[in-house]
């Protein structure tokens, strides 16, 4: 029998918690670097990074209800006060709720590739969303991306190339939770590596 997931109000971040655009200082009760993961899944990355960087503030965005509930439960059970989970569609949340120049780093690991051509319009990486990522980033802030899907990776690079005057490529260093041979240490990455799929990464910095 599956364990019942617990809801932790201190972890879940709802639209009613802020008026209009989000104030990260108010949400976390402190200043500090803000890292946002788009599509946090079961929060493996957030858990490891938040434990390793207790002075950083983390926000995970997850639209899938079951993963959202799992993430809230997992972060709450660990008692991590520097993580909040938002149950929302990332594109809309960025457009409506995240202020200009407020985020230090966006983490986008193994986004849904929507492999069928008729579904490509649902992919997160498009010009409109990249515009919002750049707008929300502080100068010197990073966008970090990992995927196992080479065709989507090629599309991502093509979209990002348009912003070459505003973004510069930087090294992609493994995250705190990555084991030997891994980049980010998420559940998806470990599954794909077990299947011997190559992992493609890129990191960019706002000029």
CA dist., res. 134 & res. 94, Å (int): 11
110 lies in some domain: yes
**Residue 201: which domain range?**
12-206
2 lies in some domain: no
The answer, yes or no, to whether residue 166 has pLDDT greater than 80, is yes
Identify the three-state secondary structure at position 159. helix
Q: Give the mean model confidence (pLDDT) for residues 6-29.
A: 89
CA-nearest of 114, 78, 1, 88 to 36 is: 88
112 annotated active-site: yes
Q: Please give the order of strands across the beta sheet that includes 83-86.
A: 12-13, 83-86, 57-61, 34-38, 103-109, 137-147, 200-206, 167-170
What integer best gives the mean pLDDT of the chain? 94
CA-nearest of 162, 180, 161, 183 to 172 is: 183
- Per-residue confidence band for 1, with pLDDT thresholds at 50, 70 and 90: low
Percent of the chain with pLDDT over 90: 89
The reported pLDDT for the residue numbered 19 is: 75
pLDDT tens profile 102-126:
999 999 999 998 788 888 888 999 9
What DSSP character marks residue 122?
Answer: G
Residues 73, 112, 179, 195: which is the catalytic one? Answer: 112
Whether the CB-CB separation of 37 and 58 falls below 8 Å is answered with yes
The answer, yes or no, to whether residue 14 has pLDDT greater than 90, is no
6 lies in some domain: no
pLDDT tens profile 25-72:
999 999 999 999 999 999 999 999 999 999 999 999 999 999 999 999
CA dist., res. 30 & res. 137, Å (int): 19
How many beta carbons lie within 10 A of that of residue 156, not counting itself? Answer: 23
CA-nearest of 129, 28, 151 to 143 is: 129
148 lies in some domain: yes
* Higher pLDDT among residues 147 and 18, named by residue: 147
Total number of domains constituting the chain: 1
Percent of the chain with pLDDT over 70: 98
28 lies in some domain: yes
123 lies in some domain: yes
CA dist., res. 59 & res. 75, Å (int): 11
3 lies in some domain: no
CATH assignment of the domain containing 106? 3.40.50.150
The answer, yes or no, to whether residue 13 has pLDDT greater than 80, is yes
The distance from CA 153 to its chain's CA centroid, rounded to whole angstroms, is 16
């Amino acid at each position: 029998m599956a364990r019942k997931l617990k809801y932790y109000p201190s972890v879940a971040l709802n639209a009613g918690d802020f008026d209009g655009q989000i104030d990260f200082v108010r949400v976390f009760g402190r200043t500090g670097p803000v890292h946002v993961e788009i599509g946090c899944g079961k929060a493996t990355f957030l858990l490891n990074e938040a434990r390793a960087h207790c002075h950083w503030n983390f926000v995970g965005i997850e639209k899938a209800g079951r993963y959202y509930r799992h993430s809230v439960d997992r972060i709450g059970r660990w008692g991590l006060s520097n993580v909040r989970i938002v149950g929302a569609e990332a594109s809309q949340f960025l457009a409506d709720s995240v202020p200009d120049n407020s985020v230090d780093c966006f983490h986008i690991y193994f986004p849904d590739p929507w492999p069928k051509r008729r579904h490509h319009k649902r992919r997160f990486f498009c010009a409109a969303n990249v515009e919002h990522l750049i707008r929300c980033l502080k100068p010197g802030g990073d966008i970090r991306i990992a995927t196992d899907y080479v065709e989507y990776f090629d599309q991502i690079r093509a979209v990002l190339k348009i912003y070459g005057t505003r973004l510069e490529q930087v090294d992609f260093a493994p995250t705190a939770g990555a084991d030997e041979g891994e980049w980010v240490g998420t559940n998806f990455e470990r599954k794909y590596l077990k299947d011997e799929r190559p992992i493609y990464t890129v990191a960019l910095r706002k000029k």
